[in-house]
Amino acid sequence: MVVLGISAYYHDSAAALIVDDKVTAAICEERLSRIKHDKSFPKRAIAFCVEYSGITYTDIDYVVFYEKPFRKFERILNAHIFHAPKGFKAFVEAMPIWLKERLDMKSTIMKSLNKLCQQKINWDIRFVEHHLSHAAMAYFTSTFENAAVLVVDAVGENATTSLFKAIGGKIECIKQQSFPNSVGLLYSAFTYFLGFQVNSDEYKVMGLAPYGDLRAEQTQRFINIIKTKLVSIGDDGSIIINQEYFTFMVGLKMVDDRVWTKLFGIAKRDTNTPIKAEHKNLAAAIQCVTEEIFLKLAAHIKSLTQCHNLCISGGCALNCAAMGKIKASGLFTNVFVPFAPGDDGGAIGAALAFHALASDTRLLSNVSPYQGCNFENEEVEKAIKDEGLEFYFAQEDSLYDKIAVSLSHGNIVGWFQERMEFGPRALGNRSILADPRSHSMKERVNAKVKYREAFRPFAPVVTQDDASRFFEDYYSPFMMSTTLVKQGITLIPAVTHVDNTARIQTVTNVSNLRLYQLLKAFEKYAGIPILLNTSFNVMGEPIVCTPVDAIKTFKASGLDILVINNYIVKK
């Protein structure tokens, strides 16, 4: 059975392919189109998956979309009717798109696929509920036989939070919360008010939050306003949004700026306005409330399912600080967040969910995050020569020592290896690496390489077998949760956030052999098997995909060294 999974038309479009009970390829459209958060039909991603997997379009048995459009349309229609005449402008703008292409999604997908493959095929197109796609992505990529599965995002068709129980390959929804009572939309409202981009920059709010002072009177006042005016939080983690203070239900903005300015006593921050203490404190307040909600949800799903394993997915699972708090709570023996819990991962999740239903089995092998493009040496060498760059080809036995020495001397390295990662995190195949011991390295990488805000933290990548020496949590293969840096550890200032936490990635010689070998080589020269790891891109651009992308970013940024396969290019 060959199953093609698709997510599209909201943000982070992607495609994934299952062939003979194995996920063979998956990629986000943005990596190929070079349009950040590309939401268009993932034609390039589909073409890559088909070509890489060595099949033809006619081999595809089922095409599975990651949500049910009719249910989503019903929610949008009901919201506008309920709030009429408010939101009429948004309604008028949305309807042509729905009536033209999204209401009859089966026809839209069929036409797009036929145009892509230049054939007329009668595709078997199926639809999976949005939160089931998220749940399947988490559960089926875990190793758990039995698990509680928590899905939290902005909104699917109508659900905003879903609680599932998964046993023996079967996923059952046991409880849901519906729009507009959404943790994701609540957090996005603050993302907007703090001057960041909704559906893109929520992680900036999370990164800014530790700079706020939770003990400050202003922060406590903000928390009190959120919990008494904006949202009611139940003991079970359910929430009720006070719709008087929000406009996202029907409007083109998340909130009314004037209403929130009066409520909090501070004005909405413009994008280019400097960040002040009040912005840091407001970020700290909403992060604190969000973590409280997540902990209550985790406790509730534990009481309902009595499971010792928890899987978490949906866009809100990218809040790695909240995920770290759940892990540290000890509520569950194991907590698993997949490598792509957001809408891009919905493509894999939809395919996995349908595969399990159609074949009555779950895939036996773990799904690797490395599902994208890779490039042979001939392609790499040609790309380097075409740019007129000098290069050195290092033999395998000397590559890691050479780069480790360069890193220990303060050089910042673009590290491009094998198949590209799927999802928002760079997991060592499309990464920028640097020495975490340097006090100035965070500032250097933010300002000279990534061109991004100075407050943004960086993550450490560490060998799995050494992680317990430095961090409280020592298993985090996908960089999806924060943990405390152990007391007394001062060796890694570039990857230690202001609250003494770090969003770690743990690596074994099985999960990523080349990165593992580099870490071990770095330990010989620096004394620690830890590197600063951030995504190989500059702010506003997708992670690099091809050697050409990597060379372009290398030339345009403050990177000192570029390594593609075994090819080394220096400035």
**What is d(CA 405, CA 402) in angstroms, rounded to the nearest whole number?**
5
Residue 393 sits in the same domain as residue 430:
yes
Q: What does the pLDDT look like over 128-148, one tens digit per residue?
A: 999 999 999 999 999 999 999
- 45 and 30 together in one domain: yes
Residue 272 lies in a domain: yes
- State whether 196 and 251 are in the same domain: yes
3-class secondary structure, 570: strand
In a domain, 254, yes or no: yes
Give the per-residue pLDDT at 364. Answer: 57
pLDDT in tens, 302-352: 999 999 999 999 999 999 999 999 999 999 999 999 999 999 999 999 999
In a domain, 371, yes or no: no
Domain boundary among 307, 327, 359: 359
Residue at which a domain ends, from 333, 359, 385: 359
In a domain, 132, yes or no: no
Residue range of the domain that includes 41: 2-66+68-127+345-359
Is 188 in the same domain as 225?
yes
Strands 2-7 and 14-19, by their bridges, are antiparallel
Inside any domain, residue 461: yes
Instruction: Examine the pLDDT at 220 and tell me if it is beyond 60.
Output: yes
Q: Each residue of 96-111: pLDDT tens digit?
A: 777 677 778 999 999 9
The answer to whether residue 368 is domain-embedded is no
Residues 254 and 160 in one domain: yes
* Same-domain check for residues 384 and 287: no
Pairing of strands 430-434, 530-535: antiparallel
pLDDT for the residue numbered 365: 61
Q: How many domains does the chain contain in total? A: 3
Percent of the chain past pLDDT 90, that is, above it, reads 90
Q: Is 482 helix (H, G, I), strand (E, B) or coil?
A: strand
Nearest alpha carbon to residue 318 among 423, 447, 460: 423
Report residue 366 CA to chain centroid gap. 19
Angle between helix 88-97 and helix 69-83 axes, rounded to 10 deg = 160
Q: Are residues 35 and 177 in the same domain?
A: no
**Which residues have C-beta within 8 Å of that of residue 382, sequence separation ≥ 6?**
none
CA 93 to chain CA mean position, Å:
29
pLDDT-based confidence at residue 83 (cuts at 50, 70, 90): confident
366 pLDDT higher than 80: no
Could you identify the residue written with the tokens 């939770």? 214
Last residue of a domain, one of 316, 342, 368: 342
Instruction: Report if residue 86 sits inside a domain.
Output: yes
CATH of the domain at 510: 3.90.870.20
CATH of the domain at 156: 3.30.420.40
Mean pLDDT of the chain: 95
pLDDT at 442 over 90: yes
Residue 209 in 3-state DSSP?
helix
pLDDT at 73: 81
Distance CA 352, CA 367 (A): 10
Instruction: Select the more confidently predicted residue: 449 or 87.
Output: 449
Residue 467 structure tokens: 């992680």
Q: Which amino acid is at 167?
A: I
pTM of the model: 0.96
Same domain assignment for residues 57 and 76:
yes
Q: What are phi and psi of 122, to 5 degrees?
A: -90, 85
Domain assignment present for residue 364? The answer is: no
Residue 5 has pLDDT above 80, yes or no: yes
